[in-house]
Structure 1
Amino acid sequence: MSFKFEKLIIWQKAMDFGEEIQSLSDNFPKKEIYNLSSQVSRAVDSIALNISEGSILQSPAEFRKFLGYSIRSLAEVVTCLYKAKRRDYLDEEKFNKLYKDSFDLMNQMIAFRNQL
């Protein structure tokens, strides 16, 4: 027995991406705990949460709306990654890897949404 969203590749990738970002933010300075760390954690969690919530709706239009929320949350994560890079909390190599992962996930979510 499983929920429909558990079979979605975009949900699985969003879950993995979320754990990677959470691990990264755990290493930010303590002064960021209520700022950047909190913001990026909430945004990255929102990606998978909105995919799962939207998947249980009967209407494809409603699911598309929730995928839009996920896509916007992913854009927020990318902005947080830029902030972290500018503040020297992650190096160029790690930034580039996470940026590419973000870009790939964004394209997959958009393609999935366009198929609904």
Structure 2
Amino acid sequence: MKTYRDLIVWQKGMDLVEDTYKLTKHFPAEELYCLTQQVRRCVISIPSNIAEGYGRNHTKDYIRFLQISSGSLYELQTQIEIALRLEYIVKEDFDKVNNLSIEIEKMLSSLIYKLKQSSK
């Protein structure tokens, strides 16, 4: 592997950013400085922390950044469910973003586990 860009989990994280930005374009104007910004901030954090952790020269640092990425992913899952409950998004759009987030969640969990095993 040559770069973090080769990581499928990073690539899917970037797809999640695109999908989420498209989703939040339709949030009500009064949410611009609240839920919209919060959702966008946490979704950007997911691939960003994967990349930053990859750039660290220590496995423990990398694992820590992947854990931060996971935390941001859980935050996103909660926020898009809030948007669904407030009827800012429809179930079909929620499912698309949520399903991709669950796939990324599993990939991050697996990567963290493998890195922990290899550093023992």
Per-residue CA deviations over 1:33-88 (Å, capped at 9, x if unaligned) read 00000000000000011000000111111100000000000000001111100110
Aligned-residue identity in percent: 34
CA–CA distance in structure 2, aligned partners of residues 97 and 6 of structure 1: 23
Cα distance between partner residues in 2 of 1:7 and 1:55: 11
1:27: Cα distance to partner? Answer: 1.1
Within-5 A mapping of 1:100-111 = 100-111=99-110
Runs of 4+ in 1 over 4 A off after TM superposition: none
What amino acid maps onto 2:29 in structure 1? K
What TM-score does the superposition give when structure 1 sets the normalisation length?
0.94
State the secondary structure of the residue aligned to 1:33: helix
- Does 2:97 correspond to 1:98? yes
Distance (Å, rounded) in 2 between the aligned partners of 1:29 and 1:66:
32
Matches within 5 A, 1:11-22: 11-22=10-21
Post-superposition CA distance 1:72-116 (Å, at most 9, x none): 000000011111001101111221222111111100111011111
Structure 1 SS opposite 2:33:
coil
1:62 is matched with 61
Instruction: Give the aligned length.
Output: 114
- Partner Cα distance (1:8, 1:70) in 2: 14
Instruction: Write the distance in 2 (CA, Å) between the matches of 1:110 and 1:45.
Output: 19
- The amino acid across from 2:110 in the alignment is A
Structure 1 position 78 matched with structure 2 position 67: no
Distance 1:19 1:96 in 2: 15
Unaligned runs of 5+ in 2: 116-120
Distance 1:38 1:84 in 2: 13
Mapped partners of 2:95, 2:16: distance in 1: 14
* Structure 1: segments with no counterpart, 5+ residues: none
Matched, 1:25 2:24: yes
* Length-normalised TM-score, structure 2: 0.91
Calculate the aligned-residue CA RMSD, in Å.
Answer: 1.0
**1:4 Cα deviation from its structure 2 partner:** 1.2
